[in-house]
Structure 1
């Protein structure tokens, strides 16, 4: 749906039978000062964490920023808010944006996936990779990538059996929504850009190519 994701979440704390997967926009996407963006980001993280019910998950997929030669850690900002709200961290995964050892200017070669919950526990008997080799397919330039979306949605399925709906603030063109639907969840996306919100209503993932038969 088209709308203000932060306001939508603030009006609906403790969403029943839901988990929230968020990728908050970058300072360049908002077109505001770094100070204003930081205020927005902290408020958005708070709204996401408060919207997830005790048995649900709040999952953040974020890429850090480098501004004027200094890193701005989005993961650090999310962890700060979670600590203030006393919401425990379930896991922190790294997704490689480039092969390890690559030289990259201005952007990190990795993204973060952080999952939080008040009641859920990450069972040590069922380990999952802490480092993912790549983002997966990128349906558009600001997409999180299908592999990252799969990791987040799969975590919800594994750790929050009570979740039947995934809420996606800042849903963009709908990568997470499409992955959630493909995994049997209802999904609700909120997007401030009207054109992207309309596109997200009908976005579908490209089918994976069939494996070549062995000879």
Structure 2
């Protein structure tokens, strides 16, 4: 069922957002036992109905995510959700790429939609291929998780998401929600996958 679980997380996040994908990834997971550190990302609704203390973040709440303090985190940590979390993140990546393509289709340069520009078309096509490749790696990670492989896969998703953010231009960092959503995705992985860190955003 591992492939099906990753696909479910990816489809859920693509259709309903990161919080829904994270909820699918955390299905039947003991957050306190599984979290590797003292702060873990959970769906906002979970934080509101539990004794967890939320750590404020300017973008997380808008994405339906809460970062909560987990007093029992530590030695019982498991990597069992790293592949499903990768699937959820890639579902969000796919949704962001679709939004970027729609935006570029509606903007023109020299009378032509930007999406038709050779460099833009090539970038979008390369990103589609990379999402598919990373989804396959998420399947492998879900089947045979190791700390090193988990860190590599999630760091590659960080890099992918940075390239998607660039397709939005300046709005990806200011008025558009997708830059913030992809940042929260990276921070979510940071809280669950040891060895990852956000390098692309300050």
TM-score normalised by the chain length of structure 1: 0.30
Higher normalized helix content (fraction of residues): 2
TM-score normalised by the chain length of structure 2: 0.31
